[in-house]
Copies of this chain bind each other. A is one copy, B any other.
Amino acid sequence: MTSGEFDLISRYFAPLASPGKPAYGLTDDAAVLTPPAGCDLIFTKDALVAGVHFFADDPADKIARKALRVNLSDLAAMGAVPLGYLLALALPRGMKDIEPWISEFCRGLGQDQAEFGWSLFGGDTVSTDGPLMISVTAIGSVVRGQALRRSGARAGDDIYVSGTLGDAALGLKRLMGEIDTADEAGKALENRYYLPQPRLALGHNLAGIATAVIDISDGLAGDIRHLCDLSGLGAEIKAELIPLSAGAGKLLASFPAYKSLIWTGGDDYELLFTAGRPERQNIARLMQEFGFPVTRIGHMTVQKAIMIADKDGINLLGNSQGFRHF
């Protein structure tokens, strides 16, 4: 550890960590956590690279918050409550204005620590000759034995999705200048790209209701495939039922060529889950409680094929993807 690194840690990162257990103000070799009684612990780890997963000149606080939220979304998909995270940060050698950047980055971390009720447990800061890179390890807890899985769907189960899909992918197209809409709705789509909304409360309440859960990070078409593979089933989804935001609907009316982004775009970080028909009332109740849509978009099938059908029953995924047998 260089003295410069030590200063950064004590000035910016230590205030994000508890002075006592588990983080000891980041002064010890490691963090010490007494697990909540009667709980299993959930672990997930993501890596984000500038130029690949975010733009190097994105606002530092938004980079920080997105890095946390993509991991929080994995916790949500397991039904977990967040406890804390470890952070590895590789800073480009000779990076300009490093201290204001770190300060903004840590402000973003602090904001989402407060919002999601967790804290920094530890980590590492290093230099690299390459682009800035962030790795977050998230730790959460669930009541013992109640972690949600990707693998429990049954034929005939309803398929649900939270929130609206495609916003982040369309927002990214706007950020990249491919789509030119100057209005407020367009700005909202960009915000969905920067700040996904991990569905922690929903995930936490799906124990005993959902049979299989995944968070949509790679797009509906890819992630329903993971659910199907692990459950040994197929899926039939009606495209017209996929929930769109007002902004996405308006934008697609002007740019219909981008329609497939709704199921292939990724970066949604919504929950995709299955549940038996008797759970419809419970799910309607949850939707009321949480104030965002939870939409039934299709059902699981015995036939191991994935269909996203348009109004005429044509599979929008085409034969290659839709009827891959596995």
A218 in contact (CB, < 8 A): yes
Once bound together, how far apart are the Cα atoms of A44 and B139, in whole Å?
Answer: 12
Using C-beta atoms within 8 Å of the partner chain, give the interface range for chain A.
Answer: 35 or more
Q: Mark A225-262, 1 if CB is under 8 A from B, else 0.
A: 01000100000000000000000000000000000000
Q: With a CB–CB cut-off of 8 A, which chain B residues contact A47? A: 88-90, 124-126, 135
A35 in contact (CB, < 8 A): yes
List A124-161 residues whose CB lies under 8 Å from chain B.
Answer: 124-131, 133, 135, 137-140, 142, 144, 147, 149-151
Are A29 and B49 within 8 A (Cβ)? Answer: no
Which residue of chain B has the shortest Cβ distance to A126 in the bound complex? B47
A34 in contact (CB, < 8 A): yes
Q: Which of B43, B142, B214 contacts A86 (CB 8 A)?
A: B43
Q: Which of B52, B86, B144, B214 contacts A29 (CB 8 A)?
A: B214
A129 and B126 contact, Cβ closer than 8 Å, known pairs A32-B147, A78-B30: no
Q: With a CB–CB cut-off of 8 A, which chain B residues contact A137? A: 43, 45, 86, 137
CB distance from A115 to the nearest CB of B (A): 20
Which residue of chain B has the shortest Cβ distance to A140 in the bound complex? B30
Q: A residues bordering B, Cβ < 8 Å?
A: 1, 22, 24, 27-35, 39-49, 51-53, 74-75, 77-78, 80, 86-90, 121-131, 133, 135, 137-140, 142, 144, 147, 149-151, 213-215, 217-218, 222, 226, 230
